[in-house]
């Protein structure tokens, strides 16, 4: 790109030099003619003086007049140029055409047009997944920054192009400093990409990344989940249960917990691991499904919900979870791990009241929100998903 830019700049400079030379060349030819004419006049004056037709004083005055005339004409023509420059004009026209076309081509080649078109499509809401991927590929190739490769990797994940996602994550990790704060989270996503690229199966490559994460952050729930997957694939069912129970301990997402509980049950069955050999980490639980009338209740971007269980006649929750509206399409699982006070959990209750409270994520105290749903006297550890209809 830079070579093309320098070539066009050099072409412009050379064309200007040529035009200036064309304009001044004829001026120099005129100066030569005037000097020759002055020389002839001096010779004529000398001949006239020798023939006696001019006196010495007259000849001297005429010579002075010739010198004066040459100086005057020269001074007046110093800032005048010849107008007979048709050829130079054609040259300049060609150079300008080449320069304009070259500039446009260079503009296109450098990719500025892609950024302009992407911004226009974004403003007009005309972006497609293909356009987004193409733009992210261009940004990664041009700027070669960590964040560009990271966004491209996530785009590949969403498009289920897992092999491409693995390559993009590897490029991002190569450029990310070893001591960067977000390196662990990037390694976790990289491990997930490896897992998906391998058809949802464990691999030595994935386990190596998972171990690197757990050395730095032993409580990372996704890494613990993948470690359990690796242990299960090797037939180490006890190790799988241990890893998955730790993942449940540090995961706050109900859907992840439900999936992990199912996986733990399968590992216990295959490994014949009873509860006496390894006690369960979740001993008490309550599953809730939240429903609402879409015509009467619309969620906002800043909405956050507190779903919690309280003992009858008390106000302090014994199990609580914070959720966003996009999480409400799945059951909410409250467990003995979700207590605010370590001494009081769902294990101390047979029945609880369930409360759903709506707040704004920007509020200083979310507990001051509005109660939009409640159900009383629900049985803990009951094999049922309790449904609560919420409304303002």
Is residue 119 one of the residues assigned to a domain?
no
Distance of CA 157 to the CA centre of its chain: 15
- 381 lies in which domain range? 285-390
pLDDT at 28: 47
pLDDT at 84: 53
99 in helix, strand or coil? helix
Contact present, 73 and 34 (Cβ < 8 Å): yes
Q: What is the CATH number of the domain that holds 365?
A: 2.60.40
Which regions of the chain are under pLDDT 70? 1-9, 11-34, 73-93, 95-118, 121-122
> Based on the domain organization, do 299 and 262 belong to the same domain?
no
- Residue owning tokens 């005339």: 69
pTM over the 0.85 mark: no
Q: What is the CATH number of the domain that holds 177?
A: 1.25.40.10
> Based on the domain organization, do 296 and 198 belong to the same domain?
no
pLDDT at 80: 45
> Based on the domain organization, do 147 and 71 belong to the same domain?
no
How far apart, in whole angstroms, are the C-alpha atoms of residue 256 and residue 272?
24
Is residue 34 one of the residues assigned to a domain?
yes
> Residues 6-58: pLDDT tens digits?
666 676 666 666 666 655 554 445 566 667 777 877 788 888 778 777 788 87
Distant-in-sequence contacts of 267-273, Cβ < 8 A, 24+ apart: 267/228, 267/232, 267/237, 267/240, 267/241, 268/237, 268/241, 270/237, 271/237, 271/238, 271/240, 271/241, 273/237, 273/238, 273/241
Is residue 118 one of the residues assigned to a domain?
no
DSSP state of 117: H
Report residue 120 as tokens: 């226009």
pLDDT at 392: 83
Last residue of a domain, one of 271, 293, 324: 271
pLDDT at 160: 94
Which residues in 280-311 are b (16+ Cβ under 10 Å) and which e? ebbebbbbbebebeeeeeeeeeebbbbbbbbb
> Based on the domain organization, do 308 and 254 belong to the same domain?
no
pLDDT at 26: 47
Tell which phi-psi region holds residue 59, choosing left (phi > 0), alpha (psi between -120 and 50) or beta.
alpha
Is residue 97 one of the residues assigned to a domain?
yes
């Amino acid at each position: 790109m830079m070579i093309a830019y320098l070539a066009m700049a050099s072409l412009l400079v050379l064309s200007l030099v040529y035009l200036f030379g064309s304009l001044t060349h004829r001026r120099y030819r005129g100066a030569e003619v005037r000097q020759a004419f002055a020389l002839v006049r001096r010779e004529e004056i000398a001949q006239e003086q020798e023939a006696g037709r001019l006196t010495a004083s007259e000849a001297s005055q005429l010579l002075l007049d010739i010198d004066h005339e040459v100086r005057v004409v020269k001074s007046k023509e110093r800032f005048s140029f010849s107008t007979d420059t048709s050829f130079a004009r054609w040259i300049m026209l060609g150079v300008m055409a080449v320069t304009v076309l070259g500039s446009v081509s260079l503009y296109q080649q450098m990719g500025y047009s892609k950024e302009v078109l992407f911004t226009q499509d974004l403003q007009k809401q005309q972006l497609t997944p293909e356009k987004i991927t193409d733009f992210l590929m261009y940004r990664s190739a041009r700027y070669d920054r960590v964040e560009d490769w990271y966004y491209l990797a996530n785009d590949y994940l969403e498009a289920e192009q897992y092999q491409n996602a693995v390559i993009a994550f590897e490029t991002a990790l190569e450029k990310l400093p070893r001591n960067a704060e977000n390196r662990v989270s990037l390694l976790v996503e990289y491990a997930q990409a490896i897992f998906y690229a391998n058809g949802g199966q464990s691999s030595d490559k994935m386990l190596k990344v998972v171990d690197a994460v757990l050395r730095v952050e032993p409580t990372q729930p996704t890494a613990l989940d993948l470690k359990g997957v690796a242990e299960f694939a090797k037939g180490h069912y006890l190790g799988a249960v241990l890893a998955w129970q730790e993942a449940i301990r540090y995961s706050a997402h109900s859907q992840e917990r439900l999936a992990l509980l199912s996986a733990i049950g399968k590992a216990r069955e295959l490994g014949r691991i009873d509860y006496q050999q390894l006690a369960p980490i979740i001993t008490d639980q309550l599953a809730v499904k939240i429903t609402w009338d879409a015509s009467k209740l619309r969620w906002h971007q800043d909405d956050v919900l507190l779903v919690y269980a309280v003992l009858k006649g008390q106000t302090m929750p014994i199990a609580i979870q914070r959720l966003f509206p996009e999480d409400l399409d799945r059951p909410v699982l409250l467990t003995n791990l979700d207590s605010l006070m370590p001494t009081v959990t769902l294990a101390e209750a047979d029945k609880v009241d369930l409360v759903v409270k709506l707040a704004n994520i920007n509020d200083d105290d979310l507990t001051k929100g509005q109660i939009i749903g409640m159900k009383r006297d629900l049985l803990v550890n009951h094999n049922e998903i309790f449904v609560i209809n919420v409304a303002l």
